[in-house]
Amino acid sequence: MQTIVITGASDGIGAASARQLKAKGYNVVIIGRSREKTEKLAKELQAPSHLADYSRLADVKRLASELKQYNHIDVLVNNAGGVMGGRELTEDGFEKTFQVNHLAPFLLTKLLMEQLIESQSKIIQTSSAAANAFGKNFDVKDLNNKKNYAPLTAYGYGKLENILFTRELDRRYRENGISTVAFHPGVVRSNFASETNHFMRFFYHTPLKYLITISPEKSARMLTELVEGKPGTDWQSGEVYSKGRPMSVAFKDDGTVARELWERSEELVKHGDGSTVS
């Protein structure tokens, strides 16, 4: 039985995909921040669960240690993320949007890499078309989002970082048997933007959300298809998809920025000190 680890699984897309995959007979491991929601879903699905707050890198390290108990991880779904209400630094000293959306999943993936290679794993990143809408001016030398901060811009940068991470992960580890892909889940009805006073919170938490959003269940089907799909046949490793098709990325990179993002991220998680980042 394949083991699928899903972060951000206590709510929204993550919870819906956990239900779908469990119903198909997979061994699903639920990772969430909220103890109440995570344990409730774990009890419903009779599935193992772990807690982690991605605004604390110590939590990510503990989570990676706990996940060593599984003999194999066939699929790692880096789904946790979100938009913040304002520019806020974590206890590690990093801008919260950057840490939660990119640096924490980067660290988790790195810490699990030996296990993932042994399992010949698929690694799936939940990105977003926000990478195109708000990420065009991304500056890899401003990872802490000090310049002209805006919640949605920082979120767009984070989702672009997911895509760049996917590309560089593929470049570095394809020969080791790792397959990786990112996807845009659509505009999903969820608790997205619940931590912000931005207009997006008003949109997502009033009946307006029903105008253009899709259900978590529909979005989760896209994720389930990637989990069950065959790399090289159903999807190409290193690419980003939307509605089952390759998604064009507005930010143009010949691989240089993706490589620099990886190298800078490695240094940041090594030192674990946001005071060292631009």
Query: Which residues are known to be catalytic?
Result: 155
What is the Cα 4 distance to its own chain's centre?
A: 14
Half-sphere exposure of 227 (CA within 13 A, CB side): 29
Angle between helices 35-45 and 12-23 (to 10 degrees): 20
- How are the residues of the chain apportioned to helix, strand and coil, as percentages rounded to the nearest 5? 45, 15, 40
Nearest Cα to Cα of residue 123 among 141, 136, 110, 142: 110
Half-sphere exposure of 190 (CA within 13 A, CB side): 26
N residues, the chain: 278
65: region left, alpha or beta (phi > 0 left; psi from -120 to 50 alpha)? alpha
Nearest Cα to Cα of residue 83 among 139, 34, 6, 154: 154
Nearest Cα to Cα of residue 222 among 126, 106, 105, 81: 126
Burial class of 5 by CB neighbour count within 10 A (0 to 12, 13 to 18, 19+): buried
